[in-house]
Amino acid sequence: MVKYCDLFITFFKIGTFTIGGGYAMIPLIQREVVDRHHWMSDTDMLDAIALSQTMPGILAANIAAIVGQRLRGLRGAAVAVAANILMPILFILLIAILFRHFKDIPAVQHIFLALRPAVVALIAAPVFFLARKAGISWRNCWIPILSALLIWLLGLSPVLVILSAIALGLLYSKFAVKR
Amino acid sequence: MILFQLFYTFLIIGLFTFGGGYSMIALIQDQVVVQHQWLSAAEFADIVAISQVTPGPVGINTATYAGYSAVVAAGLPTPLAVLGALIASFAVLLLPLSLILLVGRWLLARKDQPPFSRLFPILRLTVVGLIAAAALQLAPAAFAAASGPTLSLSGPTLSLFGSQLSLVSLLIFLVVFTLSIIPRKHFHIASLNLQFLKSPIILILLSALAGLLIY
């Protein structure tokens, strides 16, 4: 049986040494969990990744929870997730506390003046990549366009838009199955 | 009390985050900037920039930082802000992790059958629209020409839709956007591998350097 301590150290390492979010973490998780410790088979890991991408939440935390649960049940899941996010949370808290004292320095303000448009670009760029991955076509491109316009121009909440998408998806599924 | 509001708000954000970090950024922005107005769009953009360059998932970093800043903006002391940050990160994880632990195995067997096989592609397309809307909502604050005593120098400006936009900001946007969407294979130039130029961390650091040099 896998020790909690090993589980903790492994996910602590994964959480601490990946910058750039969930997608950057996947190869590292695979290497540690499948190749190094042999805690899961390659197929099981791919299943865990697919499921984590399908379900709501944070990708890396979802994968950590599945691996932890598989190895040591509920407690294992808690240990893996906690280890995974411990350093990132402490680190960002430290920065949040320190940044308040630096943010009025002109040089820092200049930096963030340049960072804001860069952030908009970083949020806008994956739109095209994700649209391709979601299988966009002339027949279904109204879905992302309409949801973007509803939020942007009419100020509808994304939560409401997602709820409507789920409702419409279920209706469509029912209708399409009957046919 | 803001701590309860934070818990509830981030509980909802976690439940509706489909499709990764950027979709969570879109939801946090909607709740924290648009609905509750705890932070301005510019403050939120700063938080996202910092969350991109620190270790860990961007979604959890942004949730933690936004939770902290929302409590500070409400005028409460630092210890409560730290508590707010921890509440936000706990709340954002609570429902998704409960779901995956409770119904994960059940769903894994069924995710390629109806109704899920029809539902998930629609959700993925909807999320694309969500992220596009988040970028559009952030744009005005990000491109606005700076004002105030310390920031009178924002270079040449452009009048568009009745607001003064900074040309430097537009240029930074175009460069970062172009580098991000060009496919990886075009980054091998004369046996040099320049793929690192696509990494968000490198792009943020280069933009920071540009800000220091230009302004």
- The pair of three-digit structure tokens given for residue A103, joined into one six-digit string: 């943010």
Give the mean pLDDT of B108-136: 89
What's the rounded Cα separation, in Å, for the pair A76 and A151?
A: 39
Q: What are the two backbone dihedrals, phi and then psi, of residue B120, each rounded to the nearest 5 degrees?
A: -65, -40
Tens of pLDDT along B163-192? 677 888 889 999 999 998 888 777 777 777
Q: Inter-chain contact A116–B49, Cβ cutoff 8 Å?
A: yes
Higher local confidence (pLDDT), A71 or B183: A71
The answer to whether residue A23 scores a pLDDT higher than 80 is no
Q: How many CB pairs under 8 A join A and B?
A: 374
Q: Does B205 touch chain A (CB under 8 A)?
A: no
Give the mean pLDDT of B122-138: 93
Give the mean pLDDT of B200-211: 89
If contacts are CB pairs under 8 Å, which of residues 33-92 in chain B contact chain A? 34-35, 42, 45-46, 48-61, 64-65, 68-69, 72, 78, 81-82, 85-86, 89, 92
The answer to whether residue B37 scores a pLDDT higher than 50 is yes
Query: Which among B119, B143, B167 is the end of a domain?
Result: B143
* Residues A97, A61 within the same domain: yes
* Residues B117, B23 within the same domain: yes
Give the mean pLDDT of A7-17: 93
* Residues B163, B122 within the same domain: no
* Residues A74, A33 within the same domain: yes
* Residues B139, B43 within the same domain: yes
Q: CA of A43, closest CA in chain B: separation in Å?
A: 13
Query: Which among A102, A118, A144 is the end of a domain?
Result: A102
Q: What are the two backbone dihedrals, phi and then psi, of residue A129, each rounded to the nearest 5 degrees?
A: -65, -45
- Beta-carbon contacts of B7 under 8 Å, excluding residues fewer than 6 positions away, are B87, B88, B90, B91
Q: CA of A173, closest CA in chain B: separation in Å?
A: 5
The answer to whether residue B158 scores a pLDDT higher than 70 is no
Give the mean pLDDT of A57-82: 94
The answer to whether residue B160 scores a pLDDT higher than 80 is no
* Residues B103, B53 within the same domain: yes
* Residues A20, A61 within the same domain: yes
* Residues A82, A130 within the same domain: no
* Residues A139, A55 within the same domain: no
Determine the pLDDT at residue B68.
Answer: 96
Domain membership flag for residue A138: yes
Q: How high does pLDDT run on average in chain A?
A: 91
Q: Inter-chain contact A151–B173, Cβ cutoff 8 Å?
A: no
* Shortest CA distance from B79: residue in chain A: A97
The number of beta carbons lying within 10 Å of the beta carbon of residue A112 is: 21
Determine the pLDDT at residue A177.
Answer: 59
Tens of pLDDT along B41-54? 999 999 999 998 89
* Residues A12, A66 within the same domain: yes
Query: Tokens 């379900």 correspond to what residue?
Result: A55
What ipTM did this prediction achieve?
A: 0.91
* Residues A61, A138 within the same domain: no
Q: Of A165-169, B157-161, B176-180, where does mean pLDDT reach its minimum?
A: B157-161
Task: Report percent pLDDT > 70 for chain A.
Answer: 97
Q: Say how far residue A55 (Cα) sits from the centre of its chain.
A: 10
Coil, strand or helix at B20: coil
Q: CA of B192, closest CA in chain A: separation in Å?
A: 22
* Residues B36, B111 within the same domain: yes
Determine the pLDDT at residue A103.
Answer: 83
- Indicate the number of domains in chain A: 2
Sign of the Cα torsion B143, B132, B66, A77 reads negative
Give the mean pLDDT of B190-199: 76
Residues B203 and A122 sit within 8 Å (Cβ to Cβ): yes
**Which of these, A20, A165, A154, lies nearest to B136 by C-alpha position?**
A154
Question: Which chain A residues touch B9 with a CB distance below 8 Å?
Answer: none
Confidence of residue B81 (pLDDT cuts 50, 70, 90): very high
In a 13 Å sphere around the CA of A97, the CA atoms on its Cβ side amount to 14
* Residues B170, B129 within the same domain: no
Domain membership flag for residue A142: yes
Query: Which among A67, A102, A137 is the end of a domain?
Result: A102
* Residues B19, B121 within the same domain: yes
Range of the domain at A165: 126-178
Length of chain A: 179
* Residues A26, A89 within the same domain: yes
Q: CA of B44, closest CA in chain A: separation in Å?
A: 9
- Cis bond before residue B115 (omega within 30° of 0): yes
Q: Does B189 touch chain A (CB under 8 A)?
A: no
Distances (CA, A) of B24 to A123, B28, B61, B144: 11, 6, 11, 25
Q: Inter-chain contact B96–A99, Cβ cutoff 8 Å?
A: no
- Indicate the number of domains in chain B: 2
Determine the pLDDT at residue B212.
Answer: 87
